[in-house]
Amino acid sequence: MCSSRQRSASAYEKEVTTSGARLYDLKMENYLPWTAPVLTTLWALICLRIYTMISIENAGQRRLIAIGGAVGAALIYILASNVVTLLQTPAQEVPAQENGRVKVQMKG
């Protein structure tokens, strides 16, 4: 006999499958590389919206928004890429203990 939990699990399994193929699993390793380009694109769209709201007569202000948007997008991309790299690196191992003491070595 199938319990209600097993039936609900099989119903869930049917919901998450599409034409026999399993849908993409939402794990951090899968979506993390897309973070920097998506954030940069969103920033560019926000700056483009501000740029289009400024009157054509204010050419200097439009140029400043365009330059600031480009510099901001570059900084967002670099920062997000660095954060993604930090999140993807494995944790360092705990130092080995000998006789109840922790051995620490200095690099340099």
> Do 44 and 73 contact (CB within 8 A), yes or no?
yes
pLDDT, position 39: 93
pLDDT, position 92: 72
Instruction: Give domain limits for the chain.
Output: 27-89
> What pTM does this model have?
0.58
Residue-wise pLDDT tens digits, 81-97: 999 888 887 777 766 66
Pick the closest to residue 50 from 59, 38, 39, 62 (CA basis): 62
Pick the closest to residue 71 from 44, 106, 50 (CA basis): 44
Distance of alpha carbon 88 from alpha carbon 19, whole angstroms: 32
Pick the closest to residue 88 from 35, 43, 37 (CA basis): 35
Residue-wise pLDDT tens digits, 46-56: 999 999 999 99
Q: Which residue has the higher pLDDT, 54 or 2?
A: 54
